[in-house]
């Protein structure tokens, strides 16, 4: 009985091997959808490389130039302050620093800053 089953299974297996392979939904044949997906992937790789180059070779030098410009303007601004006479203390007017009750810390008159 087992020999009969074995021969049937063997003939079925050999018949399946001789038959041409069936194409399934996940076939590897080229169609428009697969070509378009491959084109999108290639475009994404190219775009990524482009923006990486723009970031490294375009943005970094601009940031360095902007930093140098800001440093130069800062120093130029403080050179003018060195030539000016010292500022007078601000005058206290009666409407400034009005307190209805003292602060809870220190002597009650100073702020946290």
Mean local confidence (pLDDT), 6-29:
68
pLDDT in tens, 39-67: 999 999 999 999 999 999 999 999 999 99
Give the total residue count for the chain: 113
What is the C-alpha to C-alpha distance for residues 69 and 63, in angstroms, rounded to an integer?
10
Q: Domain segments of the chain: what residues?
A: 30-77
Here the tokens at position 94 are 């009666």
Q: Which residue has the tokens 């375009």?
A: 58
pLDDT in tens, 72-92: 999 998 888 888 888 788 788
What is the C-alpha to C-alpha distance for residues 34 and 86, in angstroms, rounded to an integer?
75
What is the C-alpha to C-alpha distance for residues 54 and 78, in angstroms, rounded to an integer?
35
Statement: the pTM of the whole predicted model exceeds 0.75: no
């Amino acid at each position: 009985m087992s020999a009969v089953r074995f021969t049937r299974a063997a003939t079925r297996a050999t018949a399946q091997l001789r038959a041409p392979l069936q194409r399934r939904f996940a076939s590897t044949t080229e169609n428009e959808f697969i070509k378009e997906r491959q084109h999108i992937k290639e475009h994404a790789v190219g775009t990524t490389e482009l923006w990486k180059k723009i970031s490294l070779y375009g943005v970094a030098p601009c940031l360095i130039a902007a930093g140098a410009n800001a440093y130069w303007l800062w120093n130029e601004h403080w050179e003018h302050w060195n030539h000016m006479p010292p500022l007078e203390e601000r005058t206290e007017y009666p409407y400034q620093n009005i307190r209805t009750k003292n602060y809870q810390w220190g002597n009650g008159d100073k702020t946290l800053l």
